[in-house]
Amino acid sequence: MSEGYEALRDGAAWLDLSARGRIVARGRDRARLLHNITSNDVKKMAPGSSCYAFLLSPQGRIQADLHLVCFADHFWIDTEPELREKVQRHILKYRVADQVELEDVTGQTAAIGVEGPTAESIVLPAGGHWAAPFTVTGQPGYRVYCAASEMAGLVAQIEAAGGRPATLEDARIVRIENGRPVYGEDIRETSLPQETQQMQAVSFTKGCYIGQEIVERIRAMGQVHRKLQRIELEGAEPAAPGAKLTVGGHEAEITSSVYSPRLGKAIALAYVRS
């Protein structure tokens, strides 16, 4: 077991998440536009609040996922590294007459994940940084945002408070142990929200938005034909993405798989047919 994995599982670890996309949305119509094109209730967000949401196609398929943070005069959008341009294109496609400007601030900012059972005990002194309650692994913790030039100093403070460095591979193992999917591996352009079981991203009371009709129709029907689940495999060898196997008599397709040091066997996330 690596030190970073152990810190994520049993202590506190820090992760360099600066490759993730960070976009600022400004303009008087920002809340209305983001409300109309995301799956969560943006209009009810107050400064300081945050949420997880999907961008859907009109057919209800997930085009991207993102974390939103509300500020008094802008929204902060955090998304997967490979989605930063796609998210901006999607928002601008539906902007039409809305007064909304987007600024990609990925290059001049940094993001640090502080994650693990004791992560909340690491309290950073006030400064030019700020935090939001997002984690990669599904462990307790938070994400710190700062100017790129401030990152080294913040990491030193985190390590002085007991945080240990962990790699993105360490984080991937823990996230799969926790059944936490990621866009691009487990959540795909063809996925429906209910298939992913990440329904914290969806509001059923907000009214109309892009893709809502399909999401509501599935809810009315009561089920989808497959659901993303964490499964345990026989032996220590992870399965390849796309591999097919049978789980409890049902066909399953692997999306991501790792060896779990905690369980001493391979585990995976897979879409299991119902």
Residues of the chain with pLDDT > 70, as a percent, come to 100
Q: Is the pLDDT of residue 222 over 90?
A: no
C-alpha–C-alpha distance, residues 85 and 63, integer Å: 12
C-alpha–C-alpha distance, residues 196 and 193, integer Å: 5
Identify the CA nearest to 232 among candidates 258, 198, 250, 194: 258
What pLDDT does residue 114 have? 98
Task: State phi, psi for 273 to the nearest 5 degrees.
Answer: -70, 140
**Cβ proximity of 47 and 211 under 8 Å:** no
CB neighbour list of residue 54: distance below 8 Å, 6 or more residues apart = 38, 39, 40, 62, 63, 64, 65, 66, 193, 201, 202, 211
Residues of the chain with pLDDT > 90, as a percent, come to 95
Give me the chain's average pLDDT, please. 96
Per-residue b or e along 136-151, where b marks 16 or more CB atoms closer than 10 Å to that residue's CB? bbbbbbbbbbbeeebb
What pLDDT does residue 72 have? 97
CB neighbour list of residue 140: distance below 8 Å, 6 or more residues apart = 115, 116, 117, 119, 120
The mean per-residue pLDDT over the stretch 24-52 comes to: 97
CA 71 to each of CA 49, 78, 162, 202: distance values in angstroms, whole numbers, following the listed order: 8, 14, 30, 21
Q: Which single residue is written with the structure tokens 């985190």? A: 158
134-157 residue pLDDT tens: 999 999 999 999 999 999 999 999
Q: Is the pLDDT of residue 262 over 90?
A: yes
Task: Using pLDDT thresholds of 50, 70 and 90, give the confidence band for residue 233.
Answer: very high
CB neighbour list of residue 138: distance below 8 Å, 6 or more residues apart = 174, 175, 178, 179, 180
C-alpha–C-alpha distance, residues 11 and 8, integer Å: 6
The mean per-residue pLDDT over the stretch 69-75 comes to: 98
CA 33 to each of CA 37, 40, 104: distance values in angstroms, whole numbers, following the listed order: 6, 12, 17
What pLDDT does residue 189 have? 96
